[in-house]
Each structure stands twice: as structure tokens, then as C-alpha cells.
A = this chain, B = another copy of it.
Amino acid sequence: MRKLEYPIIILNFKNYSEGTGEKALKLAKIAEEVSKNKNVNIAICPQTVDIRMISQNVDLPVLAQHVDSNNPGSHTGNNLIDAIIEAGAVGTLVNHSEHQLKISEIEAIIEKSKEKGFLTCVCANNIKTSISLAALDPTCCAMEPPELIGGDVSVTTKPDLVRKTVESIKNINPNVIPLVGAGVKTREDIEKAIKLGAKGVLLASGFVKAKNPKQALEEMAEGILS
């Protein structure tokens, strides 16, 4: 299965109407173009129902926004990992601030995913939780302060928070890739995140809801290169 490379920009399409269906495909193609032109690693997190369409039509790694840990069987409405893999995703967000999970479920998702070579990007709301989740050995751990998600203040306005998160994750488990997110919207935000030690960013509205998503992403891509 395809792997992620770092530093990376992970684009969460959320439930934004601009990131749904045909519009999601169009945005994903823009991201693909920017990734190639700028030689920057980008991954896409579309809605579950759009995963197959995007992974079949866009040459970028695709992550699910959420999966469930259950095995195949008598479960209705769950996102079975095997089904998500067959549809073309290489990994998944886990415990996003907008889809929080019980600790035993997070642990089970990480274990099941590992067996299948499926990547896990767990999300944490603060330093303590980042440490706790990094101990579970996910692929990445993305720290996003909930109060900044979807807003105009970037997590990088708190450099100590970013630096300490990165260090804490490394201390507890050097295998885990530290990422940050929340309010990330500009070249400077990303540049700062990388300088503070993050190996990438999660971003959503800064791309999906930008007036000119291509231009916005090109500028942010330069932040990761500089």
C-alpha cells in the first residue's frame, strides 16, 4: 500500500459542501496539480462516500476521515477498515476533534490498521493527550487545539505549544510523526509549523473554503518548501 511522505499537507474536506462529491473531485485534482508542480507531499481526506471516486481519479494518497475498529460482520453503518482499503484509501484520521472516540476504540483501530498496513493519523486536543495517543504507536499524531479549529487564529501563534508537542511526541515514541493543525491558512503558518519541528499540517477551510483554492494551496505549499 502507498505510504505517506513528509513534510506533508493533509487536506481534510470535512462535510463542507465545497468538499462534497463532484466539487470534492475537482478540489482533489487541484491538490494533485499543486503537489506535482510544487513537488510537495499532499494527502486528501474526503468524505467516506467519495473515497473511491477520488482515489480512482487522483494520484494522491487518500485518507478516510473516520473508521471503526470492528471486524467484518453484523455491524450496520460502520466504516469497515477492509472496505475503506478496498476503495483506495491508504489510511485514516482517528479521533478527530469533531469525531472523538473512546480510548479502547482508538487503540483497537491502530492495532487493526497496523496489521493491514493501513496508516493512522490520530488527532489530539492538547499536549497531554498527544503523549497518551503517541504511546499507542499510530503513524502520525496531529495536535489541534479545539478552540482554534475552523477559525482564523493559527495553532502556530502558540509556538511553545507546537514545540513542546513535537518534543513530547518524540520523547514518548520517536516513531510517531508529529503534525499540527487548527487555523492554518497561510504560507507563514506552515513555514512556522515546520520550523517548530512539525512534519506537516492538517488543514481544512484554508483550502476547501478559500476563494481561490489553487492559489491558496500553492502559497501554503511554498511554506512547506522554505
Partner-B contacts on A (CB < 8 A): 12, 14-17, 20-22, 45, 47-53, 64-66, 70-80, 82-84, 86-87, 93, 95-104, 106-107, 111, 124-126, 128-129, 131-133, 135-137, 149-150, 172, 204-205
Smallest CB-CB separation from A131: which chain B residue? B135
Complex contact B16–A72 (CB within 8 A)? yes
Knowing that A12-B76, A74-B98 touch, tell me 18 more A-B residue pairs with CB under 8 angstroms. A15-B75, A21-B82, A21-B83, A21-B86, A49-B87, A65-B76, A66-B76, A74-B150, A76-B98, A77-B93, A100-B102, A100-B104, A101-B102, A103-B129, A103-B132, A107-B132, A132-B132, A135-B135
Cβ of A206 to closest chain B Cβ, rounded Å: 12
Q: Which of B49, B64, B66, B135 contacts A84 (CB 8 A)?
A: B49
Report Cα–Cα, A86/B26, bound state, in Å: 15
Smallest CB-CB separation from A105: which chain B residue? B100
Q: Which of B48, B95, B106 contacts A48 (CB 8 A)?
A: B48
Q: Contacts of A136 on B, CB cut-off 8 Å?
A: 128-129, 131-132
Smallest CB-CB separation from A104: which chain B residue? B125
Q: Contacts of A101 on B, CB cut-off 8 Å?
A: 102-103
Complex contact B87–A107 (CB within 8 A)? no
Complex contact A95–B103 (CB within 8 A)? yes
Task: Choose among A47, A78, A150 the residue with the greatest number of B CB atoms under 10 Å from its CB.
Answer: A47
Q: Which of B20, B66, B79, B172 contacts A82 (CB 8 A)?
A: B20
Complex contact A107–B82 (CB within 8 A)? no
Q: Contacts of A93 on B, CB cut-off 8 Å?
A: 76-77
Q: Which of B22, B75, B111, B125 contacts A128 (CB 8 A)?
A: B111
Complex contact B103–A47 (CB within 8 A)? no
